[in-house]
Amino acid sequence: MREFIDYDLWGWTPHPEVWVIVLAALAVGGYVARVLAPAAGEVIERRRKFCYLAAVGLLWLASDWPVHDISEEYLYSVHMVQHLLITLVVPPLLLLATPEWIARRVTDPTRPLARRLLRPVVVGVTFNVVVAVTHIPWVVNTSADNGVFHYAVHLVLFVTAIAMWMPVCGPFAELRLKPLSKMFYLFAMSVLPTVPAGFLTFAQTTIYDAYDTPLRLWGVTVANDQQMAGLIMKIVGGLYLWTIIAAVFFRWSAHQRADRGAEATGAGRAPRRPPRPPPPPPPPPPPP
């Protein structure tokens, strides 16, 4: 059993490293909106600003007190909520907030290496392998005890999640999937986590010693905590992805109906009559 240090959960615990990251993210966003965009003759739309602020706010929520403290010291189920936020919610919001012109300053998606690394199969498999590795007991226990390792794990998860979402809502049009392919891709992303989720849900013994603590928050047992973590991963994460699949489907269906309606309207119109030819010129006067 992991050595447990009892402290007041609801006593505020500062995390200045999180504040530095959040303030740096806000500073970068402000610099892009107020300096780079006007210099490039671009305007950052309001929806992009909203997505960026929402992403930074949710990243702060997932990384600071009390979510961070509960997820690292008490409940693995809260740890799972934290991971869902930094892999399924924050990355797509950041991508939706990123204009194409600023993204092309960071990377060139037309390079052969970039195109190979950002293929849907590559990024999808890589992300799910990373997710599976982060559920290995040694990784979880070490992450709970070692702060540097903990942040490294979260960084790898976050970066691979950004890449995983690139074919869905990335700023580069040439890398985004067509609607039907996008739905199949998201469906695969909702199915692959079934293995680690089932591993947690149906485990009969304690998997992670780091969460086998003598103080059980809210009376949740270790077994129930593991089961809730597996259900959150599978059901909550799956419903979230299926909601996006439904949104993509309805938007695609609406576009299909609009295109068929436009074609039918164009086909049903009576052809226009050709313009009448101009009248012939008057005959020349007879000679005198």
At position 130, the amino acid (one-letter code) is: V
pLDDT in tens, 155-192: 999 999 999 999 999 999 999 999 999 999 999 999 98
Burial zone of 197 (CB within 10 Å; 0-12 exposed, 13-18 middle, 19+ buried): buried
pLDDT above 90 covers a percentage of the chain that reads: 62
Tokens of 278: 């101009």
pLDDT value for 195 = 85
The DSSP string of 52-103 is HHHHHHHHHHHHSTTHHHHHHHT-HHHHHHHHHIIIIIHHHHHHHHS-HHHH
With 80 as the cut, is the pLDDT of residue 206 above it?
yes
pTM, entire model: 0.85
Between CA 190 and CA 207 the distance in angstroms is 23
Ramachandran sector of residue 98 (left: φ over 0; alpha: ψ -120 to 50; beta: rest): beta
pLDDT value for 270 = 53
With 90 as the cut, is the pLDDT of residue 216 above it?
no
With 70 as the cut, is the pLDDT of residue 20 above it?
yes
With 60 as the cut, is the pLDDT of residue 68 above it?
yes
Q: What backbone phi and psi angles, to 5 degrees, belong to 286?
A: -65, 150
pLDDT above 70 covers a percentage of the chain that reads: 87
Which value, to the nearest 10 degrees, does the dihedral of the CA atoms of residues 114, 120, 126, 128 take?
160
State the average pLDDT for the chain: 88
At position 87, the amino acid (one-letter code) is: T
5 pLDDT tier (thresholds 50, 70, 90): very low
